Amino acid sequence: MLMNAKTWNYKKSEVDFVSSVFSVDIFLHFLDQYAKDESINHRLLELAKKKIISFFPNGDCKIDIENAEYFSEVFKLIYQLTVNPLENEKTYYWGISPLFVPKIIYGTQLLYDLLSSVDTSNELNFLHHPLQEELNEKDALKTLIYNYILEKLYGINVLSPPENIICLNIENKEQYYKLNLNTKYSEVSYKGIVPPISEMLTGKDFTNAKSILDVLQERLPLSQFTFSGFTIIEITEYTNKILKEKLKSFLLSQEMNDGIHQKITDVVKQLLGYQNMDILMLPIMHINDTLIVEIWDSFKTTLTSVLENYHVNEILFYEVIKNYANDPLRRFDHENMNSLMPDHKKGLMLQPVFSRGSLTGLIIIFAENKTIIPELMFSNLQDILPVLENMFDSVTKNYTGLLDREIKNQFTAIQPAVEWKFNNAGIQHLQKKAGNDINEFISVEFKDLYPLYGAIDFRNSTSARNKAAREDLEIQLESLRAALADITKIIKIPILEEMSHRSMDFCEMIAEAEISTAKEAEINHFLKEESLAVLTLLSQENQSIHNLAVDYLNAVEEGLMFQSNRKSLEETFKILNDLIHLYLDDMLKDIQNCFPCYFEKYRTDGVEFNLYIGQSIAPKKPFNMLYVKNARICQLKSMISVAQRMERIKSSLPKAVETTQLIFVHPETISISFREDEKRFDVEGSYNIRYEIIKKRIDKAFIKDRNERLTQPGKIAIVFYHQKDIEDYLQHIFFLQKQNLIDSEIEELELEPMQGVNGLRAIRLKILPENPN
């Protein structure tokens, strides 16, 4: 070990407010306490204590920092007594420092090597304080000292100490380390009577570190304290963790632009440990069977620059990526490698990223030296795939939103029922424009409309998707195990046994409980990369193995057998959604035949729809409440027909899916106006906005005092506030009961209060099977 004194962490001017005595008194006291433990070697402790005391013949165990070298044997004993004997000092960052004094007096060679490698002064900067935005560096140190005082003197922790992360600039690279300060062998004394803490902190904002610090500095000035003992410093590598946190913070920024792309690739380079490479994050998104590449802002410029640097033909690159994106289960073969990279000294790597079983992005790595590619395959890249999966999802969703807004901005057709209003607004806008008065937006608003809301949802659709994904994984894992069992009869090698064991472990894991996204990614990587590579290689080298593995490999390549449950579920959702849309279109025609209305529907896992009807939609046509009643019975009959049809075709669907039907009756008319910024209609006024809030809540509503969801398969739930609000519906219900469309029993229910919504009631109706005649 190396003994030396070296400045660390803070400048001297920043700790001149601390009175600290470097002493081993407290450490000796702890040795006495340890000696009472029968499991500890008393003889060893006695010898150590005697050895330490021999350096202090006058009985004063204080150490003068200037003469610290004289006590090197004392420090060595402290190291030996406090550090795990199995710890290798060559790989251990460890040192001793006076309490809150920026000097390391004794430490491992590795610690001094680390400090010596810092490019600037030997000053370490704290990062990632939770308090960082509130406090400057000096005050952040004071919070550390006051937290120590409060714990030692009062046994409380008001100023939670931040996680001490330091950043060093080593060879132009930022390296992060976690700093642990062990103050066990130290104590603090106060000059005078220690004041009660309750008087100081009563009524203070404990979430505001600065205000608490100000009070403490006023009532407990640091000049009144003396610290004695020493601190043990331990440092651990933290770069990878911090870099991963950076990646996550980029995702939270919601700014998926080219600048973020560059920041992400820089962090990935640091994680991989190689700078002499270029990385492209390519989201995979198909629109009209066309692969869209320019999802990031200015990505085309970045891509062209990288391809030119590595002499890659751009047209060929797009062709290879397109083929790979269409068939991601196929390995990226050497022929494609060689055709893309004319300079065979350089390397290329493609890492697929999957989300919910589908290819969502490609990480494309170009390396100046192809020998690093195998190392990258087993690098930190695998650890961050779940984060990058979320990134690709965010990028594609962001692009989809931009595309949707662009389409609405440029091409959305206006419904005929409200087209006249837009024509009038357009005429007024042109007239004002001709008079150079274009600052005022012409409002398109419809007042006093009767709203009708309905929702037809697929029951437990998220759970169904997760279940289908697990079932597909189980099928593939079992098929892989069967193929491996046959192959091991011909050739026995450890890798096959390990793959079979992992397959069994994964199967058990899936059967026992829900699996996390990270674990699902691990299983997918095992199936689509690791096991596939082994079977492909063995099949190429041995015809007998090929004959045993060919069925499994073909199934993987075709991608049908091992995605059958997911495909069946999505096909079921599509069939049902298409059917719902047909019935709603018919419903709208029936309503429009009587009186014009504005109608909008949203496709989720199922369909939600809003219908607005009233005099302001068609001012020239006399309006009567009869049209509202007609719209409501059309709504009821349509939703009953959908449910009956669903029940009738359920057995013929690829997957069994149940639907729930929900109606909300709003007691008052509302107004809607066209939002120029979003190019859509929205409700106006605080009371009307409450209507939108209720719609968002009631699909998850529970019956009061019963642990039961309101919406149930085979039933229609009608939500309302007051009995008078549903008088029209009750008349229609009695009529539909006589037609044997709904059961004679009507459940009258109260709903549990929801966030911002109270006092709702509901009736629930059982839908009878469709009459075959």
Better pLDDT: 422 or 581: 581
Does residue 643 sit within a domain?
yes
171/292 same-domain check: no
Closest by CA to 71, choosing from 94, 40, 98, is 98
> What single-letter DSSP state applies at residue 121?
S
* Highest mean pLDDT, choosing among 4-13, 336-345, 439-448: 439-448
pLDDT score for 130? 43
- With a cut of 50, say whether residue 128 has pLDDT above it: no
Q: Strand, coil or helix: what is 182? A: strand
150/280 same-domain check: no
Question: What is the Cα–Cα distance from 285 to 232, expressed in whole angstroms?
Answer: 54
The mean of the pLDDT values for the chain is 81
Residue 568 φ then ψ, to 5° = -65, -40
Neighbours of 652 (CB within 10 A): 7
Contact present, 473 and 505 (Cβ < 8 Å): no
Out of 182, 206, 237, a domain closes at 237
Residues 6+ apart with CB under 8 A from 39: none
Lowest-pLDDT range of 284-293, 437-446, 517-526, 599-608: 437-446
Angle at CA of residue 500, ends 499 and 502, nearest 5°: 65
* pLDDT, tens only, 416-432: 677 777 666 765 665 56
Question: What is the Cα–Cα distance from 249 to 246, expressed in whole angstroms?
Answer: 5
Neighbours of 311 (CB within 10 A): 11
Does residue 431 sit within a domain?
no
474/373 same-domain check: no
Does residue 614 sit within a domain?
yes
Does residue 305 sit within a domain?
yes
What CATH number does the domain containing 339 carry?
Answer: 3.30.450.40
In the chain, the amino acid numbered 506 is F
- With a cut of 80, say whether residue 517 has pLDDT above it: no
Does residue 721 sit within a domain?
yes
> What single-letter DSSP state applies at residue 705?
T
Please state the separation of Cα 293 from the chain's center in Å: 24
* pLDDT, tens only, 671-698: 888 776 666 677 776 666 788 888 888 8
540/585 same-domain check: no
Question: What is the Cα–Cα distance from 708 to 702, expressed in whole angstroms?
Answer: 6
Angle at CA of residue 332, ends 327 and 335, nearest 5°: 120
Question: What is the Cα–Cα distance from 124 to 177, expressed in whole angstroms?
Answer: 10
138/52 same-domain check: yes
509/626 same-domain check: no
Question: What is the Cα–Cα distance from 360 to 391, expressed in whole angstroms?
Answer: 10
Better pLDDT: 177 or 339: 177
198/134 same-domain check: yes
* pLDDT, tens only, 462-492: 888 888 888 888 888 888 888 888 888 888 8
505/579 same-domain check: no
pLDDT score for 257? 57
- Look at the chain and report how many structural domains it folds into: 4
Does residue 604 sit within a domain?
yes
Q: Structure tokens of 208? A: 């505001």
Does residue 439 sit within a domain?
no
What CATH number does the domain containing 700 carry?
Answer: 3.30.70
202/251 same-domain check: no
Does residue 107 sit within a domain?
yes
Out of 177, 202, 237, a domain closes at 237
Closest by CA to 667, choosing from 692, 701, 691, 696, is 691
115/135 same-domain check: yes
Domain span at residue 478 reads 464-563
pLDDT score for 512? 74
In the chain, the amino acid numbered 248 is K
Out of 346, 374, 398, a domain closes at 398
218/315 same-domain check: no
575/554 same-domain check: no
